[in-house]
Amino acid sequence: MSKNTVNPKNVSDLASLFDALSDPTRILIIHALLEGEVGVGELVEHLGLTKSAVSHQLRGLRDKRIIRTRKQGRNVFVSIDDEHVVDLFQRGLDHILHG
Amino acid sequence: MSKNTVNPKNVSDLASLFDALSDPTRILIIHALLEGEVGVGELVEHLGLTKSAVSHQLRGLRDKRIIRTRKQGRNVFVSIDDEHVVDLFQRGLDHILHG
DNA sequence: CAAATAGTTGAGCAACTATTCAACTATTTA
DNA sequence: TAAATAGTTGAATAGTTGCTCAACTATTTG
């Protein structure tokens, strides 16, 4: 029973959650996924980075269970796995736009 | 008039906003400020870091207008300047705690 | 099976970050 | 005014991060 809601584990988890949204490339990836599933190839084209760079970022987001990937043939499709993160994203965006 | 709400400036602003919350030390600072104004000395004691480390972090948060500082004699008191960030913080915390 | 295509992985690197240390400023107190 | 106290600043540093490159795996197509 933790008396205080903010024990060391929670602190690092919380930092890690926000860290997932703390980089422009990841912001663009999540933004692209807001409307639904997107292929890795599309992301690569849209972001203008190498496949490798995108793949590395996707792995980080998948490790944090923020996205999910599905393989179909030789293509991989990416979608949001954590709707709470979408909520944070939208609120953050609201804040910087009309805030 | 930007057609898309996510132009490059918005992307980097949004990443920067979440970046403010992406580090354990800053999480602890903001958490400590949730109940109201706190002195820098108290923060130093509470965080177990040097005055310098805390001061550097406070400067970063102040530059982003997330906190405000007030000097009284030789003490400096810190408080939240951006309530939207409190909202993001609370939602993030809710998320990692229950769900 | 060979070639082409889609994506992943690990190494390496340049840029960035969080912290400490030492020196500094500002304020109070003896 | 000298000493003590509270905090800031800039340089140095250890560790992290985001990217590219080259090599790899997996799948499809000729």
Nucleotide nearest to A45 (CA to C1'): C6
B4 pLDDT above the threshold of 70: no
Task: Report the distance from CA of residue A52 to the C1' of nucleotide D23 in Å, as an integer.
Answer: 12
Domain ranges of chain A: 8-97
CATH class of B8-97: mainly alpha
Q: Check whether A22 has a pLDDT greater than 80.
A: yes
Could you tell me the two tokens for A66?
A: 């923020």
| Nucleic acid strand C within 7 Å of A39 CB | yes
Percentage of residues in chain B having pLDDT higher than 90: 90
d(Cα A98, Cα A30) in Å, to the nearest integer?
A: 20
Q: How do the residues of chain B divide into helix, strand and coil, expressed in percent and rounded to 5?
A: 60, 15, 25
How far apart CA A24 and CA B15 sit, in angstroms, is 6
CA atom of A33 to C1′ atom of D12, Å: 42
Nearest CA distance, B74 vs chain A (angstrom): 30
- Residue whose C-alpha is closest to residue B59's, from B87, B29, B36, B89: B29
More confident call, B3 vs B67: B67
- Token reading at B85: 């960030």
